[in-house]
A and B are shown apart, each in its own frame.
Chain A
Amino acid sequence: MNALLALSRAIDGVTERIGRTVYWLVLAVVLISAANATIRKAFNYSSNAYLEIQWYLFSVIFLVGAGYVLLHNAHVRIDIISGRLSARAQNWIDVFGIVFFLFPMAFVIMKLSWPLFMDAYTRNEVSTNAGGLVVWPARLLVPIGFFLLIVQGISELIKRIGFLMGRAPNALAKAHGKTAEEELAEEIALQRARDEQGSRP
C-alpha cells in the first residue's frame, strides 16, 4: 500500500504540473482570438489557421487538463444524496464510479480515437478549410487526454482505497484553501476597511 500511495503522490505531482502549464493557454487563446478579430476588421486579413488554432488550444485545455480537474475534484457531481452520506460511503461511491464508470468509458474512447489519429498522421491530413492546420495533433489530443484521465483515475482510486483502509487522509474532504468566492469577499472587505480609514481622520 505504501508503494501505491507513493505512486499516487507521484501521479498527483505530474498532473498538477501539467494543469498549471496548460491553464496558461487560456490567456493565449483569449489574446489570439482578440488579435485575430481586430486584425480581421482593421486590415481585412484573416486566415483559417488562426481560427483553428483557437479550438486546438482550447481542446488542449480541456482534454489534457481533464486529469487536473479530476485531481481537484472539480468535475460536477449531483450531491443531494451523497452529500448527506458518511465520508466512508462517499469514498466507496468513488471507488465504484472510478472502476465501473470512469475507467471503461475513458478506455473505450481512448482506444477508439487512436486509429483516427494514426490515420490522420500517416496520411498527413490537412484541414479542409483553406489555409487550415494539420489535423493529427488535434486527433492525438483525444487519446492523450483520456489516457491522462485514466492515470489520474488510478491515483484517485489509490487514495480512496487508502482512506478506506485507514492509511491515507480523506481526499474528498480536503479543503483546497479558500474558494475563489471567499477570496473575492476578503479582498473587497479589505478594500472597504482601507477606504473607511482613509476617509476619516
Chain B
Amino acid sequence: MTAWLIANIAPLMFVTLVITLLIGFPVAFSLAAVGIFWAIVGIELGLLQPTLIQALPDRVWGVMSNDTLLCVPFFTFMGLILERSGMAEDLLDTIGQLFGPLRGGLAYAVIFVGALLAATTGVVAASVISMGLISLPIMLRYGYDRRLAAGVIAASGTLAQIIPPSLVLIIMADQLGKSVGDMYAGAFIPGIILAFLYAAYTMGVTIFKPQWAPALPLEARSLREPNGKSGIVSVGVLVALSAAAAVAYGKIYLKDSPLDETIVISTCVGTAVAFVAAVINKVLKLGLLSRIAERATFVMIPPLALIFLVLGTIFLGVATPTEGGAMGATGALIMALARGRLTWKLLRQAMDTTAKLSTFVVFILIGARVFSLTFYGVNGHVWVEHLLTSLPGGQLGFLIVVNILIFVLAFFLDFFELSFIVVPLIGPVAEKLGIDLIWFGVLLGVNMQTSFMHPPFGFALFYLRSVAPAKQYLDKLTNKLTDPVTTGQIYWGAVPFVLIQIVMIGLVILFPQMVMVYKSTDSTVDPSKVQIQLPPSESGAPAGGSQPGQPETTQQMEEDDKRGNEDAQSLEDAFKSTPAPAPGVPPPPK
C-alpha cells in the first residue's frame, strides 16, 4: 500500500485536486488545503523533507513581493472608472454615424470600437453592455439580422481579452516567467488580425446576405451638414492628411528606430495633426471640416490618449507595465472627473470591486503556489511532462492537444483558474519542446478568449442577454413594434465567431511570425526598469526555513519551479526581470 502510494502520489494528488475543486468550495482554499494535506502525507511517507512545509510562508511572500501583480488592481480600477466615464457611449454613437452609411457599417463600428476599448483596457462585461444598450437597438431598428448583431457585439466585447493591455496576458506572462512587455508586443498583431477577421466575416455577410446588414437610411444620420450632405469627404481628407503626416514623420525622423517605437510616435503625430486641425476649425469657425469629421476627431482623442498613456509608454520603454497601469488608471480618473462623471459613489464602488477582484485573484495564485510546492516536491511536474511529451507529433501534436484541452476546460474554468493551475503545468513542457513561450502564451490567450463566447456558458453572451430586449417593445423613434432578441439567436449568432476564433488559433500556430515580432522590439520594456526588483533575501527564514540548494531570491525560486533546474534559462529570465545594475540609474539612451 505504502509503496503504491509513493509510486502514484502525483496522479493521486491531481485527482484529489480535481475532486475538491468540483465540489464547489472556493478554489483558492481548496488548492492550498490539498497542497498542505499531501505535503503532510508525503512527509509521513518519508518521501518529502519535513522542511518542505517550512517553505510555505516563502510562497506567500513571493506572491506579495511580485510587483507584476500590481497590474491586476491597476488595470481593473482603470477599466471600472472608464466604463462609467461615458467614453464608450460617445464612441459608439459617433463611429456608428461615421460607418453607418456603409452596408454593414454598424457592425464595423462595433468591431472598431470594441478593438479601441480593448486597447484602453477594456472589460468584457462593460464593452458588451455598452454595445448591447447603444448599438443593438439601432441595429434592430434598421433591420439587422438578430444573430449577426448579437454575435458581432459579443465577439467584439471579448477582444478586450486578447488586445493588450489585458489581464490575461499579464498573468500569462507572469506564469510563464516572461516579460509582460514582450507578451503585449507579441499579442498585438494577432489581436488586430482577429478584429479584421470579424470585419471580414461581416463583409462576407453583406455580400451574400445584404438584407442582414443594411446601411443606415438618410434620416438616421444625425451628424449631417446643414445643407444635407454627409460630410464624409471631409473625413476622408482629414484621415489622409493625418496619415500622410504620420508616415512622413516616420520615414524622415524615425528611420532607425525599432518598429514599435516608430508606430507609436507616428500615430501620435498623425493624431496631433487631426486634433490641431479640428481645434482650429472649431475655434475659428472656419467651417472647413464637416460636423462629423470634427466630432469623430474629438471622440477619438480620449481613447487614443489613454492608449498612448498605457500601451504607448510601455512600447516606448518609458514605463513598466505596472507603471503604465497606474498612469492609465490616473488618466481615467482625470478623464471621468473632467466629464463630470466621477462621483464618490462611483469611486467607492470601483475601489471595492477592484479590491475584491484582486484579492480573489491573488488568493487563487497563493493557493496554486502552495499546491505546486508539494506537487513539484513529489515530482508531479515530471509526471505531467512525461504524459505530454509522449504525445505523437512533437511540437504540433503537443500544441493541438493542449489547445483542445484548454478549449474544453474553458467551458468550466475561468481564465484565472486556467492560468494559475493549468499553465504552470504545461508551460515547462512547452519550453522543453522548444516552443517559444510568448508564442505559446498568446496562443492560449486567443484560446481562452473563446471561453467568453461559447454557448451556453460564455460570459459575453450572458451579459448581452441581460441587456438585449427580451420582450417585444415599441421603438420610440419609429413607433414600430420590434421583436425581442431570443436567447437562441444570441447563441447561434456567437457560433460563427467561435469558428473564427478556432481559425485564428490555427493561424497563430501556422504563422508564429505574427507573434515573433516581439523579438524585433527587444530593446523596449525591460531596460527601463530602473529599480532593483529583488525581494529581500530569504536569510531571515528560521532554521530549516530554507531548503538545501534553495536559490537566493524568490524570483529565481519561482523560475526554478517552472522549469526544473535549467540554470541557464533561469538566469536569463532572472536577468530579464531584474536587469538594472543599480537604483536610480536612468534608462540607457536609445
Residues of A within 8 A of B (CB): 19-20, 22-27, 29-34, 36-38, 40-41, 44-48, 51, 54-55, 58-59, 61-63, 65-66, 68-70, 72, 74-83, 85, 90, 93-94, 96-97, 100-102, 104-106, 108-109, 112-113, 115-116, 119-120, 123, 125, 127-132, 135, 138-139, 141-142, 180-185, 187-189, 191-192, 196, 199
Q: How far is the CB of B273 from chain A (nearest CB, A)?
A: 25
Which A residues are CB-close (under 8 A) to B532? Answer: 48, 129-130
Q: Are B370 and A22 touching (Cβ within 8 A)?
A: no
Residues of B within 8 A of A (CB): 20-30, 32-33, 35-37, 53-54, 56-57, 60-61, 64-67, 69-70, 73-74, 77, 80, 83-84, 86, 89, 125-126, 129-130, 133-134, 222, 318-319, 322-323, 325-327, 329-330, 333, 347-360, 362-364, 370, 412-414, 416-417, 463, 466-467, 476-477, 530-534, 536-537, 540-542, 545, 582-584, 586
Q: A112-B54, A119-B540 are in contact. Are A191 and B86 (CB under 8 A)?
A: yes
Q: Are B583 and A184 touching (Cβ within 8 A)?
A: no
Q: Are A135 and B28 touching (Cβ within 8 A)?
A: no
A-B contact pairs, 14 of them (CB 8 A): A29-B74, A37-B327, A58-B358, A62-B359, A75-B360, A77-B26, A93-B24, A104-B33, A105-B36, A116-B57, A125-B540, A128-B536, A142-B60, A181-B125
Q: Are B586 and A75 touching (Cβ within 8 A)?
A: no
Which A residues are CB-close (under 8 A) to B74? Answer: 29-30, 33
> Which of B22, B33, B83 has the most A CB atoms < 10 Å from its CB?
B33
Q: How far is the CB of B473 from chain A (nearest CB, A)?
A: 12
Q: Are A34 and B327 touching (Cβ within 8 A)?
A: yes
Q: Are B89 and A58 touching (Cβ within 8 A)?
A: no
Give the distance in Å from the alpha carbon of A114 to the alpha carbon of B530 in the complex.
33
Which B residues are CB-close (under 8 A) to A24? Answer: 351
Give the distance in Å from the alpha carbon of A85 to the alpha carbon of B541 in the complex.
45
Q: Are A191 and B351 touching (Cβ within 8 A)?
A: no
Q: Are A188 and B130 touching (Cβ within 8 A)?
A: yes
Q: A40-B530, A129-B531, A191-B86 are in contact. Are A69 and B24 (CB under 8 A)?
A: no
Give the distance in Å from the alpha carbon of A33 to the alpha carbon of B364 in the complex.
24
Besides the known contacts A45-B584, A77-B25, 4 further A-B residue pairs in the complex with CB atoms under 8 A apart: A30-B333, A48-B583, A105-B29, A184-B83
Give the distance in Å from the alpha carbon of A41 to the alpha carbon of B36 in the complex.
45
Question: Closest 7 CB pairs between A and B?
Answer: A82-B24, A97-B25, A33-B326, A75-B26, A101-B33, A37-B323, A113-B57
Q: Which of B70, B134, B222 contacts A55 (CB 8 A)?
A: B70
Q: Are A55 and B67 touching (Cβ within 8 A)?
A: yes
Give the distance in Å from the alpha carbon of A108 to the alpha carbon of B348 in the complex.
34
Which A residues are CB-close (under 8 A) to B32? Answer: 101, 105, 109
Q: How far is the CB of B422 from chain A (nearest CB, A)?
A: 13
Give the distance in Å from the alpha carbon of A37 to the alpha carbon of B125 in the complex.
30
Give the distance in Å from the alpha carbon of A53 to the alpha carbon of B341 in the complex.
30
Q: A27-B347, A78-B417 are in contact. Are A72 and B540 (CB under 8 A)?
A: no
Q: Are A75 and B29 touching (Cβ within 8 A)?
A: yes
Q: Which of A36, A41, A116 contacts B541 (CB 8 A)?
A: A116
Q: Are B540 and A51 touching (Cβ within 8 A)?
A: no
Q: A76-B26, A79-B24 are in contact. Are A189 and B531 (CB under 8 A)?
A: no
Q: Are B360 and A76 touching (Cβ within 8 A)?
A: yes
Which A residues are CB-close (under 8 A) to B333? Answer: 30
Q: Are B358 and A61 touching (Cβ within 8 A)?
A: yes
Which A residues are CB-close (under 8 A) to B318? Answer: 41
